[in-house]
Amino acid sequence: FDPAIRGKARWVSPRLLRFEPEEQLIPGTEYKGTLIGKIALGEQKNVNDFLFSFKVAEQEILSLQGDFAAQSDARNTLVYKGTLQFAQTVDPEQLRRDIRFIGPTGRMQLTLETDDIETRIRFQSESLTRTSKGKNFKLTLPAKYTALRKHWEKALFLPVF
């Protein structure tokens, strides 16, 4: 491979060869490879080398799922609980520094935790108070989390009680 990729190849079936890299491939990187026919299929076969290339998927926010959830310990107190799904694994500590949850009074705290699925992060906001007036919030991430390298923003609205 160019650039080089360490890993192992194994035949899954007579027609399917699977290569498993030792480390995660770099998002957005294009790789070129050569499958040497005589090594893969044997010297006695009349085969050519097979040239191929592929590009690793860019990092992308695939989905946001979440909603405001009532807190049982206080009247009209809620939190926003959500899950972000990414195309590639993210560094939770870096995400913690990058993510912004912004409310009417400015930036608010988020608690993040990893999920069983490496590309998914769960989060919860600090406590919010529902009033007789609706409130706008937004969740933002910098451009490095999107394939088009554009700032990501999701508007959230907490309706009146």
**Is the Cβ–Cβ distance between 160 and 133 less than 8 Å?**
yes
In eight-state DSSP terms, residue 143 is: G
* Confidence band, pLDDT 50/70/90 cuts, at residue 42: confident
**Is the Cβ–Cβ distance between 157 and 123 less than 8 Å?**
no
* Confidence band, pLDDT 50/70/90 cuts, at residue 15: confident
Residue 57: the pLDDT is 83
Please give the structure tokens belonging to residue 127.
């406590």
Alpha helices in the chain (DSSP H): 37-41, 92-98
Is residue 39 predicted with pLDDT exceeding 80? no
Q: What would the mean pLDDT of 124-139 be, rounded to a whole number?
A: 94
* Confidence band, pLDDT 50/70/90 cuts, at residue 46: confident
Reported pTM: 0.73
Phi-psi region of 132 (alpha: psi -120 to 50; beta: other; left: phi over 0): alpha
Residue 75: the pLDDT is 82
Please give the structure tokens belonging to residue 54.
């592929």
pLDDT in tens, 138-152: 999 999 999 888 999
As to burial, measured by CB atoms within 10 angstroms (0-12 exposed, 13-18 middle, 19+ buried), residue 83 is middle
Is residue 127 predicted with pLDDT exceeding 90? yes
Q: What percent of the chain has pLDDT over 90?
A: 70
**Is the Cβ–Cβ distance between 39 and 124 less than 8 Å?**
no
